[in-house]
Structure 1
Amino acid sequence: MALRIVPGTAGHPLATALARCLGLEPATCTVERFPDGELRPRVGTVRGDDVYLVQSTGPPVSERLVELLLLLDACRRAGADRVTAVVPYFGYARQDRRTRAGEAIGARVAADVLTAAGAQRLLVVDPHTTALETMFAIPVEMLTAVPVLAAALSASVPDDTVVVAPDLGAVKIAERVAARLDCSVAVVRKTRISGTSVRATELTGDVRNHPVLIVDDMISTGATIEAAAHILLAHGATPDITVAATHGLLVADAVERLQALQLRRLLVTDSVALPPNPPPWMEVRSIAALLSNAVAGLHRGEALDDLLPQS
């Protein structure tokens, strides 16, 4: 059973880098778009192959998800022996529970339709919630980009840096980064006012006269990072602020918000397509090697224990 990497339009650069790490060329894949926005994808020869379909569901999330579903169906109908959805950033993962009556559980809906479309396994990187795995009937492999981020930060982070989780949901990833950098951890508690507005309400940990490294799984509008930075500075942290996140969605006015904070450095991965002409203080590290190790291991039927997040 041959190994094939199939790129979606949202994952083409990363899929190409992943394929090259494996000594392969990505399979042919085209997506025709009708005038009304309807998509019609077509994949090349994959009959009998072990297919890894690479498509992040970053902005615009719903369109990327529909394309992923159609590509999964195309691979299945083209006779692929096994199809793994490689979704470095999994949209709708934040919708893992209802917060009030009348809401949908978006993560569960996405899980159901991915499985129905033909995904036999899912590979994700630092999903917003580990509960995502419980919503799927198929195997889910959850990788972490912490080693990639920590390696990029290790040479430039001062010894007295405090790693900060900007909300309770980011505590685990902040602790993993801090453990690799041998730093202490602080935690910000926040209250979300709206989709673009956040208020930081409490800080646990000592940041006075320390440089800080804010770590999160994703940056969307930048509101969480902005609120965390303000409370850190109010508690005496030095203005030498670094931010690191796996997924740099950077929607709306996120870049302008972060620019106003005068960050020392912003580090993200290439899990999603980044805006053109990124500012000079933004640095991107690739997760292609991380994904290639996982894909190679899965293709050979090996366990991925060394690549999975450690609690």
Structure 2
Amino acid sequence: MDLTVFSGTANRPLGEALAWALGSPLGDCKLERFPDGELHVELGEDVRGRNVCIIQPTAPPVGENLLELLLMADACWRAGAARLMAVLPYFGYARQDRRSSPSEALGGKLVADLLVRGHFDRLMAVNLHTASLEGCFTVPLEHLNAGTLLAEAVRPYAGPGAVVVSPDLGAVKLAERYARQLELPLAIVHKSRTSGSEVNVRGLVGEVRGLRPIIVDDLISTAGTIAATAEAVLEAGSADDITVVATHALLVGPAVERLSKVPIRRLISTDSVVPPKGLPFQHEVVSLAPLLADAICRVTAHVRPR
């Protein structure tokens, strides 16, 4: 069955790269905003009887990008698309997968329900912050892991004298995979979160003295965790050649300012969100397009011409 790929506006460059990797032009979809702020979506081509893939990370502004995705899906469904797939390189609200008090909303489950209501037959996401979120979806979810791609990108900096550092207990399994693939020792920072953007470091397990730290995490938002981790390993005597690896480099709010105050030599991330420009350190971006294209071909029986 033929495949049509549409891209929302949240990460158009990745959408174009994905369409190229799949060997087809990006679908024509017109998005306008009315004077009162409402979004208007209209397809510019026929999708009747076709497989349709819509790529749209729910990056900031999360609500706007999520609504845009749902409106595009509704337009495709009403136009007679045979099957709909949502590709979410970055899934917002993944950190709201549980409640710490009875008065909190369960944002992750709510967004999952909204996506299911969007007539999608299948969803695709990359490195969800919490893997247990998969259980919130009632349609098939392809959960992709960009770790192998990122580990290979960091390999040139991971020779003798380097150490993989997990910034908290939640990232230990991720860090262990990097350490195994790169054949490096592992150190773990113990932290406690005081607010949505502030953290305190309580201790460090493992040896970092004289070693080059490679701090790995799935997500950098305000960079409070990464900055605190960098300070902790420096206080423990590590070298000041610090590499940070993350799947999703949101870098919102005070993130860049925080990272500029510690000796971050380089950041390696994917293009799940549009890479920020003008960073005060080297930024290497690994494209998700090949990973996404391979997964789409497997689940849609689409043959890649390239």
TM range (shorter): over 0.9
Q: Aligned to 2:156, what secondary structure does the other structure show?
A: coil
Map of 1:20 onto structure 2 = 20
Which residue does 1:307 correspond to in 2?
Answer: none
Q: Which residue of 2 aligns with 1:202?
A: 203
Kept in 2: contact 1:122–1:141 (CA 8 A): yes
State how 1:213-292 maps to structure 2 within 5 Å.
Answer: 213-292=214-293
Q: Which amino acid aligns with 1:16?
A: E
Q: Residue in 1 aligned with 2:8?
A: 8
| 1:250-270 deviations in Å (ceiling 9; x for gaps) | 001211211111211111110
1:41 matched to 2:41: yes
The Cα shift of 1:160 comes to: 2.6
* Conserved 8 A contact 1:158-1:211: no
Superposed CA RMSD in Å reads 1.5
Contact 2:3 2:302 in 1 (8 A): no
- The residue matched to 2:75 in structure 1 has which SS? helix
Paired letter, 1:226? A
Q: What aligned pairs does 1:128-207 form with structure 2 within 5 A after superposition?
A: 128-207=129-208
- SS across alignment from 2:275: coil
Task: Out of 83-92 and 190-199, give the one that drifted further.
Answer: 190-199
Relative to 1, partners in 2 of residues 1:41 and 1:276: Cα closer, same or farther, differing over 3 Å?
A: farther
What residue identity is the alignment partner of 2:36? D
Deviations 1:60-96 (A, max 9, x none): 1111111111111111111111111100100000000
Residue 180 of structure 2 aligns with an amino acid whose one-letter code is: A
Q: What amino acid is aligned across from residue 61 of structure 2 in structure 1?
A: P
Q: Do the aligned partners of residues 113 and 293 (structure 1) sit closer, same or farther apart at CA in structure 2, a change above 3 Å counting? A: same
Q: Report the Cα distance in structure 2 between the residues aligned to 1:5 and 1:68, rounded to whole angstroms.
A: 13
Determine the C-alpha separation between the residues in 1 that align with 2:290 and 2:247: 15
Structure 2, gaps ≥5 residues long:
none
Identity of aligned residues (%): 49
Task: Measure the CA separation in 2 of the matches of 1:16 and 1:157.
Answer: 32
Shift of 1:301: 8.4
Q: Which moved more, 1:127-136 or 1:175-184?
A: 175-184
For residues 252 and 180 of structure 2, what CA distance do their matches in structure 1 show? Answer: 30
1:134-191 Cα deviation digits (max 9, x unpaired): 0000011111111211111112222231111111221222122212111111111211
Q: What SS does the aligned partner of 1:155 have?
A: helix
What amino acid is the match of 1:136?
Answer: F
* Whole-angstrom CA distance in 2 between matches of 1:180 and 1:240: 21
* CA positional deviation for 1:215: 0.4
Q: How many residues align?
A: 302
Q: Go from structure 1 to structure 2 and tell me whether the alpha carbon gap of 1:301 and 1:169 turns closer, same or farther (over 3 Å shift).
A: farther
Distance 1:60 1:284 in 2: 22
Kept after mapping to 1: 8 A contact 2:264/2:281: no
Aligned partner of 1:9: which letter? T
Match of 2:52 in 1: 51
User: Residue 11 of structure 1: CA displacement?
Assistant: 2.8
Aligned counterpart, 1:212: 213
What secondary structure sits across from 2:157 in the alignment?
coil
Change (3 A) 1:251 1:173: same
Q: Say if 2:11 and 2:273, in contact at 8 Å, map to a contact too.
A: yes
- Cα deviations across residues 79-126 of structure 1 (Å, max 9, x unaligned)? 111111100100000000001121111110001111111111110000
Quote how far apart the aligned CAs of 1:209 are: 1.5
Unaligned stretches of 5+ in structure 1?
303-311
Cα-to-partner distance string for 1:179-238 (whole Å, 9 max, x where unaligned): 211111111121111122111112121112111100000100010101111111111211
CA contact (8 A) 2:166 2:186 kept: yes
How far residue 25 of structure 1 moved from its aligned partner, in angstroms, is 0.7
SS in 2 for 1:256: helix
